[in-house]
């Protein structure tokens, strides 16, 4: 295969990618990568300040992007976002569901009692990661993709969905459900031109988990040291290291026969635990 042909495999020119959660660190890095590959990127999220900043960064690097406000847990808001993106950029052909997170009241410190975990906290984590993080966006954007018989949906799961990590039981269960939903939709839409895959990032330091991994005075926390000890590459991930896999899964030429997969980007963490 010639170099030109190889480059064409990963050329996303003509694609319109909606990245829900691109106002965050990991979602933003994936939005950057899609734009660099030629896609027009719709940065979708609730924070206009962070969203517009991401758009400016993409444009400063030569890419094309717009910000569209939306609440991923509200169907009407997502439908309005879909229509706004279509009017401004064209029909969405790539969807990245990068919204999600955990709640402090759904986290079990060492020695705590699972039987005391509040139902409200459990449901809140599922609403954030499964309902708003995959279910509703897949319904709203998947509807038009199926009608057009063309699309790539990329759900952001977690290796916590593959193995139940300590403390974050609700988050682990919700992300496991995301992986299961991904495979269900991949099977349902396989002959309708829509591929559905998931990416499971390993440990990527960000604002919400930095205190769990690093001590204020420097160095790793006890939890951070255990993670590094179980990671063959002996380091945490960098957000830009998600760029290659998201571009690959987004490309209808590079990954045309790939659907229903959960791709771990974890420095080998899962290889030492399963």
Catalytic residue at 171?
yes
In the beta sheet, which residues pair with residue 18? 42, 95
Q: What is the DSSP string of 92-111?
A: --EEEE------GGG---TT
Catalytic residue among 67, 126, 141, 171: 171
CA distance 23 to 45: 6
Q: In this structure, are residues 158 and 200 in contact, taking their beta carbons and an 8 Å threshold? A: yes
User: Considering only CA atoms, which of 109, 190, 120, 117 is closest in space to residue 149?
Assistant: 190
Q: Among positive and negative, which fits the CA dihedral 133, 90, 152, 66?
A: negative
Write the CB contacts of 261 (distance below 8 Å, at least 6 apart in sequence). Answer: 186, 197, 198
Q: What angle do CA 182, 188, 190 make, to 5 degrees?
A: 90
Q: Report yes or no: 37 and 246 within 8 Å, Cβ to Cβ.
A: no
Bridge partners of residue 97, in order along the sequence: 20, 155
Looking only at the bridges linking them, the beta strands covering 64-69 and 94-97 are unpaired
Q: What is the sign, positive or negative, of the torsion defined by CA atoms of 113, 115, 119, 123?
A: positive
Our measurement of the distance from residue 87's CA atom to the centroid of its chain's CA atoms, rounded to an integer in Å, reads 24
Residues annotated as catalytic (active site), given as ranges: 171
């Amino acid at each position: 295969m010639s170099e030109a042909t190889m480059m064409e495999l990963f050329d996303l020119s003509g694609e319109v990618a909606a990245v829900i959660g691109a106002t965050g660190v990991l979602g933003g890095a994936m939005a950057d990568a899609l734009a660099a590959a030629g896609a027009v990127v719709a940065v979708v999220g609730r924070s206009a300040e962070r969203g517009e900043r991401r758009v400016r960064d993409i444009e400063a690097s030569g890419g094309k992007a717009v910000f569209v406000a939306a609440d991923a847990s509200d169907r009407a808001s997502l439908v309005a976002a879909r229509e706004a993106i279509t009017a401004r950029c064209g029909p969405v052909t790539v969807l990245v569901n990068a919204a999600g997170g955990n709640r402090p009241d759904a986290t079990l410190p060492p020695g705590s009692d699972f039987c005391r975990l509040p139902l409200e906290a459990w449901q809140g984590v599922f609403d954030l990661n499964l309902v708003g993080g995959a279910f509703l966006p897949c319904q709203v954007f998947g509807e038009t993709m199926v009608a057009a018989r063309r699309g790539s949906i990329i759900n952001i799961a977690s290796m916590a969905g593959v193995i139940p990590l300590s403390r974050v039981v609700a988050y682990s269960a919700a992300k496991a459900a995301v992986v299961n939903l991904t495979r269900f939709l991949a099977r349902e839409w396989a002959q309708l031109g829509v591929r559905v895959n998931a990416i499971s990032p390993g440990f990527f330091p960000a604002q919400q988990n930095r205190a769990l991994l690093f001590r204020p005075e420097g160095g790793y926390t006890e939890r951070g040291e255990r993670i590094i000890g179980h990671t063959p590459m002996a380091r945490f991930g960098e957000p830009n290291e998600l760029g290659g896999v998201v571009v690959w899964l987004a490309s209808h030429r590079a990954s045309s026969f790939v659907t229903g997969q959960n791709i771990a980007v974890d420095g080998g963490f899962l290889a030492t635990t399963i």
